[in-house]
Structure 1
Amino acid sequence: MTLELRLAARTDAAAISRLLVANSAANGGTLYGDWSEAVVRTWIEIGTPIVVAIDGEQVKGVLFSAENADGAAAPVKAMFAACPAIDDAYAYGPICVDASMRGQGLPKALYTKLCDYMGERRGLLFINRSNVGSLKAHQKMGMDVVAQFQLGEQLFDVLQTPAG
């Protein structure tokens, strides 16, 4: 299998949506939100870097980013509010890796490719404290917990990507 890492194209929207929906909370995963094809296509069309790992026609991994919390969901707004002193940060995530690719370093590869587009800027991400696997994976990539926040009954850690 040869993976191509690149920015998502409009034609990738359906495959990205399938991966995200398969890993959504509604299907036993940890992703929350509307990941319909239309929503994914909109994310792609606004031009914020979204990195995909493609094997043929299949998306094996995806990493979203966003410039700021403008128009973002409540957890993203809460994340930025928890870290007001970090200048010029972007929102990292969500990230999703196909079950067949887990444990093979794909999150690091997606993040490294994202850095090509974001330069020296730092990213902020939030992870539900109950998602121990994701917390460990991101800490292994050198990301540190810098804050916490709570939404409803759920506790989240805010992590910061390493400096350039």
Structure 2
Amino acid sequence: MGEVHVKVADRNDVDGILRLQAANLHSAGGMLSAEFPRAWFERWLDVMPVLVARDGVSVVGYLISSTVAANSDVGIVQAMLREVDLEEQHFIYGPICVDEYYRRKGIAAALYNKLREILPGTTPITFIRRDNSKSLAAHLALGMIEVATFTHLGRAHAILQASEA
């Protein structure tokens, strides 16, 4: 494994993000349930930070951040919002995706820590399907805490947020 660098994504990273996303979608055997099209990424790069981890020329991980308002019409986010009281400093964290070869090597932590550095004084909040035990364990190891649960389309989810702003 070469040295991995984490940075704020730009338009040159979108192809790599899309390749990694496609390989990790639920329909491809992965745990990502939402697919974001190219146009969404290209637009979102100017709104909130999208981070990438690169090993040389390849994108080996990415992390999306977004505002609560931008997701207020998304069914699963609406289900989450019914269970928690959010304050102004909250933002939606995720999805986060790391190439299978690079998992358990600190990439998720590096992406998360860089995002916290870029957005100081904010509180990331996310949801994770209960059957995604590896992701739940990884997020708890980052210092996130479970604050609530909800069910959407028959699947149980945990809601996690940073333990401190």
Question: TM-score per shorter chain, which class?
Answer: over 0.9
Report if aligned partners of 2:71, 2:77 keep a CA contact under 8 Å in 1: no
Question: How many pairs does the alignment contain?
Answer: 163
Distance 1:125 1:68 in 2: 11
Distance 1:30 1:85 in 2: 26
Residue 43 (structure 2) aligns with: 42
Give the CA deviation at 1:39. Answer: 2.7
Distance 1:85 1:26 in 2: 32
Name the aligned partner's letter for residue 3 of structure 1: V
Residue 60 (structure 1) aligns with: 60
Give the CA deviation at 1:67. Answer: 1.7
Distance 1:82 1:42 in 2: 29
Q: 5 Å matches for 1:80-119?
A: 80-119=81-120
Residue 26 (structure 1) aligns with: 27
Report if aligned partners of 2:67, 2:91 keep a CA contact under 8 Å in 1: yes
Report if aligned partners of 2:21, 2:35 keep a CA contact under 8 Å in 1: no
Name the aligned partner's letter for residue 134 of structure 1: S
Report if aligned partners of 1:21, 1:36 keep a CA contact under 8 Å in 2: no
User: 3-state SS of the aligned residue for 1:70?
Assistant: helix
Name the aligned partner's letter for residue 159 of structure 1: L
Report if aligned partners of 2:54, 2:60 keep a CA contact under 8 Å in 1: yes
Name the aligned partner's letter for residue 106 of structure 1: I
Q: Deviation digits for residues 133-161 of structure 1, max 9, x if unmatched?
A: 00011111111110111112111100011
User: 3-state SS of the aligned residue for 1:47?
Assistant: coil
Report if aligned partners of 1:83, 1:147 keep a CA contact under 8 Å in 2: yes
Report if aligned partners of 1:69, 1:76 keep a CA contact under 8 Å in 2: no
Residue 137 (structure 2) aligns with: 136
Name the aligned partner's letter for residue 77 of structure 1: Q
Q: 5 Å matches for 1:125-164?
A: 125-164=126-165
Residue 12 (structure 2) aligns with: 11
User: 3-state SS of the aligned residue for 2:48?
Assistant: coil
Give the CA deviation at 1:35. Answer: 2.9
Give the CA deviation at 1:57. Answer: 1.9
Report if aligned partners of 1:76, 1:91 keep a CA contact under 8 Å in 2: no
Give the CA deviation at 1:37. Answer: 2.4
In structure 1, stretches of 5+ residues that fail to align are none
